[in-house]
Structure 1
């Protein structure tokens, strides 16, 4: 089986509400969808959601890299030769993990359809039967965030990921307001997205949050400052998660060697797709570090890929792939049963892509043969 054609679609996914985090506000979500076709007529879909603040890739640069470098390189290749596919991409272009993720995911979708099995069956089989979905609270006033949390609890959610990362004591007010509103039976995870910058600011915030009972604190300091995470970890009993500070094997080695985190947030867009994510999960498992599959707010395509990884590994203890729930229109049909997601047993990613919607949301496209 050989890859014969790749179509690249630059789209914008409309959000129900703007997504606000410490470093940016997104009124809509730019994405690149890849449609890969083989000589046997099997079609697979992949997705790239780049973030210039995290992976150093923009929507425009990702489209260009896929169009000019990665997609032409894939023509004639076996989509099931995952190790070779990644070796070819890595030799051709340094880094650009979100771009490579689109190719990787499409290859896995094809492989599953070829063998008539779900993707999770290709990477270890199904371990988890279902995962609870964590609702993500965008940055807002304490009152607004507390009101939203209260409403989501009524809908059945039992955990929240709070986006913070502004002035530390204002963030403390936000976190305290949500805790007071939802009570102590609801799990609260706090994601600072690097916004507190250093260990001293973070420790100040943690002192003020001593009685709030956080599940964990995620990436409070700048991404490259692994040593700051080590210091914070030595001075608090709140579990620490690394997100932007983990991309690939290089960072995972340092995190393990320095015991810099209790948990890591693996994202397919940061590491290059399903195949590299499985390698990171295995490294973390060997070191006794729990894993989460996180989101760059992907459509049903990228979100489904992340769920297949999460469902296949025992070390995966949480997921935050809620992109499709945030869109007013999506290209796929990933099904959520709030507050859980239960993957189906269909081949490949297990989703259908509505190509009429894909065309509707598309700004420009290109075909590589």
Structure 2
């Protein structure tokens, strides 16, 4: 496979137009694409139903232009979802995507990337990194935040969810108590598939939440079938403060989620069962779930994720934007998305507090509510030292 699309025209000087916000760049061509892969350790153990993970795999992109503007992007590998690795994401960008976008105006590069994604759909982490960098550039070219490129905005700040791994009950309670002390009221707990241990952990965390606190439970398919999931729910001291169950059963048997929802009265959201609009259309048309998670690491582009949210809304489904262990750069992209969502759940999961090092600049403070960036582009970048 070679570069996608026709060859770009020869480079010319960027054209600009003066406006009230300064120089508006009319044309801006890509001159350089720098990429680096990096594994960032978790800030402590992160057990879940798949396996224990010690680090998160990332690819970072810096795209330069003839106008002097620079765009930044980040992609995260979720090998249990997509099979991607850090080395694989770097190779895809360097070998296939870079030749397709270099020398092109930003809008043409976006079209070339979309064509690549359509012909090679199994590299969402790699395409996400380049997609975010191009959107960052487009926002900077127009002098507007990325949220305005996605659609009308409905909020300028976003409530966050405090995520707790599948730790032993005492450690899980310690994490939850720290979140409560910091002002969080929306929590998520991982389950690891051991129903007895999961129930003990969930009940212990529920005990330390304030009266207005809620908890979403993520089994990552670990409860497998309705009977097992029903047994887990039956063991809970109360379900009143359970916001929803996230993918409690096997991804290839979505009817089980509807059955569990019907039998227990606890809402169920899909994650592993959704990789694109077609999956969500089928779930929505059949009324199998109450909502779904939105992850760049599975979808491959922020605009594609926005389209997925539109499909969800058409079927009356709620959505939860999730940054899959990304830094503040990926978190910023999710904040811009969340700013446009009319059917968002109680909170957005931005997990930059779970990684030991947040390399983005500026890094967000992990707080119960975070403002959507208002600077042009994503509003968050990367240090040059990362690419040296």
Fold-level similarity (TM above 0.5): yes
Counterpart of 1:342 in structure 2 is 371
Q: Is the 8 A contact 1:70 1:92 kept in 2?
A: no
Cα distance in 2, alignment partners of residues 251 and 143 from structure 1: 38
Q: CA deviation at 1:235?
A: 1.8
Bigger CA drift: 86-95 or 255-264? Answer: 86-95
Counterpart of 1:169 in structure 2 is 196
Q: CA deviation at 1:42?
A: 1.7
Matches within 5 A, 1:42-53: 42-53=69-80
Cα distance in 2, alignment partners of residues 349 and 259 from structure 1: 35
Matched, 1:118 2:145: yes
Which structure: larger Rg?
2
Q: CA deviation at 1:7?
A: 0.8
* Unpaired segments ≥5 residues, structure 2: 1-27
Q: CA deviation at 1:151?
A: 2.2
8 and 205 in structure 1: CA distance in 2 versus 1, 3 angstrom threshold: same
Bigger CA drift: 106-115 or 310-319? Answer: 310-319
Q: Is the 8 A contact 2:38 2:58 kept in 1?
A: yes
Matched, 1:352 2:381: yes
Matched, 1:179 2:206: yes
Matches within 5 A, 1:39-188: 39-81=66-108, 84-188=111-215
Counterpart of 2:3 in structure 1 is none
Cα distance in 2, alignment partners of residues 162 and 201 from structure 1: 18
Counterpart of 1:235 in structure 2 is 263
Counterpart of 2:244 in structure 1 is 216
Normalising by the residue count of structure 1, what TM-score does the alignment of the two structures yield? 0.92
Corresponding residue SS for 1:297: coil
1:257 is matched with which residue: 268, 277, 285? 285
Matches within 5 A, 1:4-23: 4-23=31-50
Cα distance in 1, alignment partners of residues 62 and 73 from structure 2: 7
Cα distance in 2, alignment partners of residues 61 and 82 from structure 1: 21
Counterpart of 1:325 in structure 2 is 353
Cα distance in 2, alignment partners of residues 287 and 82 from structure 1: 32
Bigger CA drift: 120-129 or 133-142? Answer: 120-129
1:201 is matched with which residue: 209, 228, 252? 228
Cα distance in 2, alignment partners of residues 320 and 313 from structure 1: 11
Cα distance in 2, alignment partners of residues 22 and 328 from structure 1: 22
1:28 is matched with which residue: 49, 55, 72? 55
Q: CA deviation at 1:157?
A: 1.0
Q: CA deviation at 1:179?
A: 1.0
Q: CA deviation at 1:40?
A: 2.0
Matched, 1:244 2:272: yes
Cα distance in 2, alignment partners of residues 91 and 277 from structure 1: 15
* Unpaired segments ≥5 residues, structure 1: 361-369
Cα distance in 1, alignment partners of residues 239 and 277 from structure 2: 34
Q: CA deviation at 1:71?
A: 2.1
Counterpart of 1:363 in structure 2 is none
Q: Which has the higher contact order (CA 8 A, sep 6+)?
A: 1
Q: Is the 8 A contact 1:69 1:92 kept in 2?
A: no
Output one character per residue of 1:192-223: Cα deviation in whole Å (capped at 9) or x when no partner: 11111122211111222262421110011122
Corresponding residue SS for 1:316: coil
Cα distance in 2, alignment partners of residues 230 and 63 from structure 1: 39
Normalising by the residue count of structure 2, what TM-score does the alignment of the two structures yield? 0.87
Cα distance in 2, alignment partners of residues 147 and 110 from structure 1: 42
Bigger CA drift: 49-58 or 229-238? Answer: 229-238
Query: How many equivalent pairs are there?
Result: 359
Cα distance in 1, alignment partners of residues 122 and 185 from structure 2: 37
Output one character per residue of 1:175-204: Cα deviation in whole Å (capped at 9) or x when no partner: 111112224421111111111112221111
Corresponding residue SS for 1:90: helix
Cα distance in 2, alignment partners of residues 12 and 83 from structure 1: 27
Corresponding residue SS for 1:41: coil
Output one character per residue of 1:290-338: Cα deviation in whole Å (capped at 9) or x when no partner: 1110121101111111111011221223444433222332221232361
2:337 is matched with which residue: 289, 299, 309? 309
Q: Is the 8 A contact 2:100 2:113 kept in 1?
A: no
